[in-house]
């Protein structure tokens, strides 16, 4: 039996009371600051609606030992603990315990943090701008064990948090080193050199060709399919084919359709917004407006090599009031073409680096994620209490 289990058995064997957040806290001062009000080297941090500091300022409106909950925006519901004097902006709810002899501010923070996902999923309204209503969060229930138990929980989680932060910093540093190593090898493997009027890549002679010459087709995305479901994350039997827009990563998935336009493996490039962002797409998908699709001639260039070479290729765009990439722009882009055997060798090397650096299912990113989950598991276990009079 560990120390907390002994304390629970001794001090609250029948369970603990639960209190609403508003019953055990006081709401602190907050006041809006514009970005132009911020001072780069200000004495005090400013917290607002984000996960990180909003900036710095030379005045503060609250003392240390407090926590804030983001009220609006992308991170509405996100909870920060503040251990120094700070300025609370208008888009957060800052709190402190009413009575540290009854409930610790740091304990309340940990109790809420363990429920952060629930708060974000159930209390944050998802309109055009996500928002958290103060009345809703004030009514959120948290367990109230005796003070010695709170102190022990805070002590353990503080220590665990420090260790976790140190380990994560080490892993992040290692990951950054691997990223730089990957970029070095990628650039070395993919950058041709000129000698006596000829160009060579890793000792193999290359020929410069424009994308319009080495692609079967280069297609601008069109209108949405007739039948589709928007914002769907997974295919269904009725709508199995993905629709892609010009977003980055998973944000490029617009939805799914019962039909498709492209039936070959291809590379897509964002034409507006995230101009130049590119990735490989598997067969049977539909690109919509602001997305350009390149289908390579397999006898000249592999899809993977094309995607990798675009990493180090300057992708210009048309001017105008709204910058954009057009099909004629893309067709003119020159790239070096080594023999197919050399392309496959380069791809094999870069795939291994890419998996190590970027794939969340393996390598260092997976280790970082495992550390986070381990911490969350122990934190949640420490903060799980039986309610008093619960059968």
Provide the pLDDT for residue 354. Answer: 85
Nearest to 380 by CA among 3, 111, 42, 117: 111
d(CA 120, CA 137) in angstroms, rounded, equals 10
- Confidence tier at 387 by pLDDT (50, 70, 90): confident
Averaged pLDDT score across all residues of the chain: 91
* Interval 253-272 mean pLDDT: 95
CA distances from 272 to 6, 249, 275, 290 (A): 61, 15, 5, 5
Euclidean distance between CA atoms 66 and 70, whole angstroms = 13
Least Cα distance to 242 among 226, 223, 262, 222 occurs for 262
Measured CA to CA in angstroms, residue 300 lies from 173, 247, 349 at distances of 39, 29, 20
Write the pLDDT tens digit of every residue in 363-374: 777 777 888 888
End-to-end CA distance of the chain: 23
Residue 245: the pLDDT is 92
Q: What angle do CA 205, 294, 352 make, to 5 degrees?
A: 60
Question: Which residues are 24's β-sheet partners?
Answer: none
Q: What is the pLDDT of residues 142-159, one digit of tens each?
A: 999 999 999 999 999 999
SS3 96: strand
The stretch 236-258 carries a mean pLDDT of 91
Average pLDDT over residues 100-122: 95
pLDDT for 389 beyond 70: no
> pLDDT > 90: what percent of the chain?
70
Per-residue model confidence as pLDDT tens digits over 284-337: 999 999 999 999 999 999 999 999 999 999 987 766 667 889 999 999 999 999
| 293/257 Cα distance (integer angstroms) | 18
* pTM exceeds 0.85 for this model: no
382 within 8 A of 145, measured Cβ to Cβ? no
**Structural domains in the chain plus CATH codes:** 1-8+145-186+340-391 (no CATH), 17-142 (3.90.220.20), 203-337 (3.90.220.20)
CB 214 within 8 A of CB 300: yes
Give the E-state strand segments of 35-144 in sequence order. Answer: 44-47, 55-57, 66-70, 79-82, 87-88, 92-97, 124-125, 131-132, 141-144
Is residue 89 within 8 Å of 30, Cβ to Cβ?
Answer: yes
């Amino acid at each position: 039996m560990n120390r907390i289990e002994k304390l629970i058995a001794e001090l609250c064997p029948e369970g603990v009371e639960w209190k609403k957040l508003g019953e055990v806290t006081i709401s602190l001062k907050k006041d809006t600051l514009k970005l132009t009000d911020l001072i780069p080297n200000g004495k005090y941090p400013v917290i607002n609606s984000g996960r990180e500091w909003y900036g710095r300022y030379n005045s503060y409106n609250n003392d240390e030992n407090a926590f804030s909950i983001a009220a609006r925006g992308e991170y509405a519901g996100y909870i920060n603990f503040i251990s120094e004097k700070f300025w609370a902006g208008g888009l957060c709810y800052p709190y402190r315990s009413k009575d540290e002899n009854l409930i610790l501010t740091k304990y309340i923070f940990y109790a809420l943090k363990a429920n952060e996902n629930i708060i974000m999923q159930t209390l944050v309204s998802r309109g055009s701008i996500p928002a958290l209503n103060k009345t809703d969060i004030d009514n959120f229930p948290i367990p109230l064990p005796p003070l010695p138990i709170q102190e022990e929980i805070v002590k353990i989680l503080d220590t665990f948090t420090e260790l976790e932060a140190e380990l994560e910093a080490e892993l992040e540093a290692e990951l950054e080193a691997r990223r730089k190593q990957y970029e070095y090898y990628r650039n070395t493997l993919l950058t041709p050199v000129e000698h006596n009027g000829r160009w060579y890549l890793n000792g193999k002679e290359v020929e410069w060709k424009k994308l319009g010459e080495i692609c079967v087709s280069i297609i601008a995305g069109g209108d949405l399919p007739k039948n589709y479901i928007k914002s769907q994350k997974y295919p269904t039997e009725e709508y199995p084919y993905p629709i892609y827009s010009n977003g980055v990563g998973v944000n490029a998935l617009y939805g799914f359709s019962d039909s498709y336009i492209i039936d070959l493996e291809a590379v897509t490039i964002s034409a507006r917004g995230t101009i130049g962002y590119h990735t490989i797409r598997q067969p049977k998908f539909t690109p919509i407006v602001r997305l350009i699709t390149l289908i390579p001639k397999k006898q000249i260039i592999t899809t993977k090599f094309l995607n990798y070479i675009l990493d180090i290729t300057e992708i210009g765009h048309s001017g105008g009031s709204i910058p954009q990439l057009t099909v004629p722009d893309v067709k003119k882009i020159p790239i070096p073409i080594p023999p197919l055997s050399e392309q496959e060798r380069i791809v094999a090397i870069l795939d291994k680096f890419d998996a190590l650096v970027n794939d969340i299912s393996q390598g260092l990113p997976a280790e970082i994620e495992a550390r986070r989950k381990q911490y969350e598991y122990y934190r949640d276990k420490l903060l799980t209490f039986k309610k008093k009079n619960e059968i």
